Structure 1
Amino acid sequence: MIDLKRRILNLTINDSIYSKKYETQIKMNSKNIEIINFLGSGLKNKYINKVDSILKLRKVIKDFDLVHINFLAPSYFFYNHFFKHSKLIVSFWGSDLYRYPKTSKKSKFLQKKIIKNADIITVVNKKMIPVFHEIFGFENKPIYETRFGLPIDFDQIDKIKKNEINDFKKKHNIPDKDYIITLGYSSDPRKNHEYMINEIIELSKKRSNIFVFIPLTYGDETHREKIKKLCDNSFKKYDINYKILENYMTNEEIAKFRKANDIMINIQDTDAMSASMQESLYAGNIVINGSWLPYTELLENGAYYETIDKLEKGTLSEKIQYIINNFDELKGKTKVNKKIIYERSSWEINIKSWIEVYNKLLEE
């Protein structure tokens, strides 16, 4: 075992809840490892910020035993010179593997240069391993499955009472008999909001007792304004009750939102394993996922969710209609999901694998 305090520099693209909770969990579970977060968000902005970030990193990197890149943004290539002289872990989250290298040859080239210097690669699910090898090669590099816990603590969802759900509905003027449907979880064009909105309109022609949430609290601002305008024009025309969520929500607010929701729709183009989708499963929502998303691990472990195979007219609206018509029966099926999601995505379980990976590299 490591008997001295070892310092790890965690390069993260933004000051996310994952990075904060990750740092906290390492402190709680390992006396020998210290995590320091170094934000890379400046790399996405003006050139002067890139220079500033590089100069800062050059000053501090020598004081660390290991560098850990969480989410391999191609822009980290500007740091690559420093990685050659450090022990390096590269962790793929999802879109950094599924989107960047497939949509841009330049991104793939820059990512591959960084990976060449990595001692260890990690991915959030085993399905990503053959994808990594297919895109980048590097079959001889050690690669491990590690993942973060979910942003929200499970006990925050568990402690939500029935009266708090009722208060949530009153706050948003949701009739008791309405089915609450959530479309996606962020302002991202790849979430296929336009298709979902059109399908809700089709559904409304057959059923009026629905209330729609569209979470756009983070993501692309241009897309957010586009979807707001589309809803304003379309949903109001068909007298569909809805609310767009734009403001930051506390974990308590998110927990109430998850527990109050009935149906969560997640039909984005690509994903590794959406945290919002998993929170919805844990909270007892009936989730509709795109069958093309790599969630077979959940099914293999016995999880229940519905799927659609194509983004064709009528496919999603008919699936929602089927769920509402058989709601009590299908709601009963969701009971298995709570234990499955906890065992897969709790911090208490997942942090152990991260510490094991760190120890492997630090003991060499």
Structure 2
Amino acid sequence: MKILIATGYSGSWPYVPDMVEELRSRGVTVDIFDIDEPRPARFLDRLAFRFTGLRARTTRSVLRHKLDAMASDYDAVNIHFLHPIYADLLDSLKVRGRRLVASIWGSDFLRANDAQRAVLRDILAQAHVITTNNPEIRQQLQAAYPEAEPKVRIMSYGMRSLSVIDQVLRKETQAQSRAALGVDPDKIIVVCGYNATRAQQHMTMIQAIAALPPDVKARQQFIVQATYPDDAAYKDEIAAALDKAGIAYLMLRENMDLEDICRLRIVSDVTLNIQTTDSLAGSIQEHLYAGSALIVGRWLPYEMFEKMGASVQRVETAAQIAEALAVARRKPDPSVTRPDYVRQIHEAACWGSDSLMEKWLSAYRG
């Protein structure tokens, strides 16, 4: 089998890189068409690329030229994250393979404006299979594009990080993981968000934490995961707001290796996630897999976690966040005991499950 994956590769971690590695390990040929790498080769394109007013048009031209040079004998072309630029590339993508698979990631649909939703409609109309990893997103897709519903499938992404969490828990206790990260050995650990974008709503989190009674704040350590993207100005803005509010915190600014990311999930007692939209972020699944409790925005589509029996507390305002944090507790050491729902997450999102890979291969085969 031969597959072409079209995506912005640098922003597709961990889902697409893990998927590519797993497909190749099973003998599938996988090529990547990376929309984040236009790299003009022709002189006139390089010249035009220097001018802001011509850059968007040149990018589309370069990507079309790059795509036209690719093979046209793929069994399937799989678009991951339906970026508006595919409006100019769809015809060329379609003729690269027998089948077109369109994978909705969440914000490509949830944050799309009217013009972008029109592009989505065209892509979905021409796709043979449409995938989403969340039943609630499927319902919203059905409401927006009822004609596409027969083609929509719930398809999880495998996550190598789940296996790494298991490996870390086999070799060290939670206390040892805390020591490895330099985290307080005794306090309740609250991880605030998982990236350094404004959509995470850090300022609302800070407002809530600042309102906590001093004795509650003294029992908790607040960790801000701001490892990506590389937006130093916004990271400084978060730090300044935390300092002004008198909050003791640990901000993780630099990239972390996968093992330390997994340690962060293990040491977290509570994960606070109030980002504006989400489908099913890998970071949230990792936290749950390591036994963390969730405090999440009421608007986020996490009903499936609640049905599994995970600890999910929904909030809408800074005051409600503060109320939830005030009663937060340490979780049991996950190296000793894990929640029952962990098995369900493993079955749904671990590439070690043959049934998960078979779903993707079936979408590609037709």
Short-chain TM bin: 0.7 to 0.9
- Matched residue, 1:176: 185
Question: Matches of residues 12-27 of structure 1 in structure 2 within 5 Å?
Answer: 12-15=7-10, 16-27=13-24
| Contact 1:123/1:146 (<8 A) preserved | yes
- Matched residue, 2:361: 355
**Residue 214 of structure 1 aligns to a residue in which SS?**
strand
**Pair 211,50 (structure 1): closer, same or farther in 2 beyond 3 Å:** same
Distance 1:220 1:174 in 2: 23
Question: Matches of residues 1-364 of structure 1 in structure 2 within 5 Å?
Answer: 6-15=1-10, 16-29=13-26, 31=27, 33-42=28-37, 46-47=55-56, 48-85=58-95, 86=97, 87-100=99-112, 104-139=113-148, 141-160=150-169, 165-170=174-179, 173-203=182-212, 205-207=214-216, 208-219=218-229, 221=231, 225-235=233-243, 238=246, 240-300=247-307, 302-311=308-317, 313-324=318-329, 327=330, 335-349=339-353, 350-360=356-366
1:238-267 alpha-carbon deviations (Å, 9 max, x no partner): 2x3212212111111112111112111112
**Pair 228,337 (structure 1): closer, same or farther in 2 beyond 3 Å:** farther
Shift in Å, 1:52:
1.8
Shift in Å, 1:173:
4.7
1:7-39 alpha-carbon deviations (Å, 9 max, x no partner): 21110122333222111211234x4x4221211
Distance 1:278 1:14 in 2: 21
**Pair 234,303 (structure 1): closer, same or farther in 2 beyond 3 Å:** same
* 1:226 partner amino acid: Y
Give the % identical residues.
22
Distance 1:17 1:141 in 2: 28
Shift in Å, 1:55:
0.5
Moved more, 61-70 or 255-264: 61-70
| Contact 1:43/1:75 (<8 A) preserved | no
**Pair 220,268 (structure 1): closer, same or farther in 2 beyond 3 Å:** farther
Calculate the TM-score normalised by the size of structure 2.
0.84
Distance 2:151 2:197 in 1: 33
Shift in Å, 1:348:
2.2
| Contact 1:284/1:337 (<8 A) preserved | no
Shift in Å, 1:233:
4.3
Moved more, 276-285 or 112-121: 112-121
Shift in Å, 1:227:
4.7
- RMSD over aligned Cα atoms: 2.8
* 2:141 partner amino acid: F
Distance 1:358 1:161 in 2: 36
**Pair 257,157 (structure 1): closer, same or farther in 2 beyond 3 Å:** farther
Distance 1:97 1:246 in 2: 29
Aligned length in residues: 343
